[in-house]
């Protein structure tokens, strides 16, 4: 089954969100009928559908759409994959980079598909911890590799714009499976991405 990029909006969902966002603007003390806000509910309705379009995407279908048999068994690393997601607690963005590696066990996938899998799970209401594990499990279940490693570094606006307001805080999460549970393999992976992990 081929993977198809989705860039369309559900009219009924859009209309429902428009109505709700107009009410929210009013409850915040704004006038939703003033010139600058007239189209804001519609823009926001479409933006939220775009930012959560991952619910309509099957990550395993993405990987299977470019799955190839190759007799290779060396580590494959795709690093510095930009990601943008929405914290499910405050619905504020968090953003950063994902570093992903796997050791093939007879099957590989197109490199761009790894990045698309990141988007499939990031474009949802998320927590970084779950996002990390979901990416790992999708690769593990589809390619059956000897091991998978995922590291995500991200900044959370819910910690920067509100709450503790720590502007320089960064959160790192990791998930390791198979061969990457061995210290030597994990160390090799971390060394390959260490230049990114040390960048501030």
Contacts of 68 (CB under 8 A, 6+ apart): 107, 108, 109, 110
pLDDT tens readout for residues 83-104 = 999 999 999 999 999 999 999 9
* 89 labelled catalytic: yes
Select which of 56, 89, 129, 170 is catalytic: 89
Q: What is the pTM assigned to this prediction?
A: 0.90
pLDDT tens readout for residues 144-187 = 999 999 999 999 999 888 888 888 889 999 999 999 999 999 99
* 165 labelled catalytic: no
Select which of 42, 90, 155, 188 is catalytic: 90
* 88 labelled catalytic: yes
* 69 labelled catalytic: no
- Section 124-146 average pLDDT: 98
- Section 60-84 average pLDDT: 96
Select which of 53, 128, 134, 153 is catalytic: 128
The kind and range of the H/E element at 152 are strand 147-156
CA distance 154 to 85: 10
Q: Identify the pLDDT of residue 152.
A: 98
Question: Which band of pLDDT confidence, cut at 50, 70 and 90, is reported for residue 63?
Answer: very high
Select which of 42, 155, 158, 188 is catalytic: 158
Domain boundaries, the chain: 11-51, 66-197
Q: Which residue has the higher pLDDT, 162 or 127?
A: 127
133 pLDDT exceeds 90? Answer: yes
Q: Identify the pLDDT of residue 5.
A: 56
Same fold for the domain at 11-51 and the one at 66-197? no
pLDDT tens readout for residues 155-167 = 999 988 888 888 8
**At the topology level of CATH, where does 11-51 sit?**
GTP Cyclohydrolase I; Chain A, domain 1 (1.10.286)
* 87 labelled catalytic: yes
The kind and range of the H/E element at 134 are helix 128-143
Mean pLDDT for the chain overall: 93
* 158 labelled catalytic: yes
Q: Identify the pLDDT of residue 160.
A: 86
- Section 25-32 average pLDDT: 97
Number of H helices, E strands in the chain: 8, 7
What share of the chain has pLDDT > 70, as a percent?
A: 94
* 128 labelled catalytic: yes
Select which of 49, 53, 134, 156 is catalytic: 156
Q: Identify the pLDDT of residue 8.
A: 78
CA distance 113 to 96: 18
195 pLDDT exceeds 70? Answer: no
- Section 21-26 average pLDDT: 97
193 pLDDT exceeds 80? Answer: yes
Q: Which residue has the higher pLDDT, 9 or 40?
A: 40
CA distance 157 to 144: 35
Select which of 23, 33, 82, 88 is catalytic: 88
- Residue of 111, 181, 99, 177 lying closest to 144 (CA atoms): 177
- Section 40-67 average pLDDT: 96
Would you tell me which CATH number, out of the four given (3.30.1130.10, 3.40.1030.10, 3.90.550.10, 3.30.230.20), belongs to the domain 66-197? 3.30.1130.10
């Amino acid at each position: 089954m081929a993977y198809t990029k989705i860039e369309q909006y559900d009219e009924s969902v859009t209309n429902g969100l428009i109505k709700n966002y107009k009410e929210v603007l009013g409850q915040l003390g704004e006038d939703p009928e003033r010139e600058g806000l007239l189209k804001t509910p519609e823009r926001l309705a479409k933006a939220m559908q775009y930012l959560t379009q991952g619910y309509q995407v099957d990550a395993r279908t993405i990987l299977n759409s470019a799955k190839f048999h190759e007799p290779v068994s060396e580590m494959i690393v795709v690093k510095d994959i930009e990601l943008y997601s929405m914290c499910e607690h405050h619905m504020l963005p968090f953003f950063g980079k994902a570093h992903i590696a796997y050791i093939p066990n007879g099957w590989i996938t197109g490199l761009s598909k790894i990045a698309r899998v990141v988007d499939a799970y990031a474009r949802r209401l998320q927590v970084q911890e779950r996002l990390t594990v979901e990416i790992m499990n999708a690769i593990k279940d589809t390619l059956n590799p000897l091991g998978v490693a995922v590291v995500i570094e991200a900044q959370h606006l819910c910690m920067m714009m509100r709450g503790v307001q720590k502007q320089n805080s960064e959160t790192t999460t990791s998930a390791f499976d198979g061969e990457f549970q061995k210290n030597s393999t994990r160390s090799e992976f971390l060394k390959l991405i260490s230049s990114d992990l040390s960048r501030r």
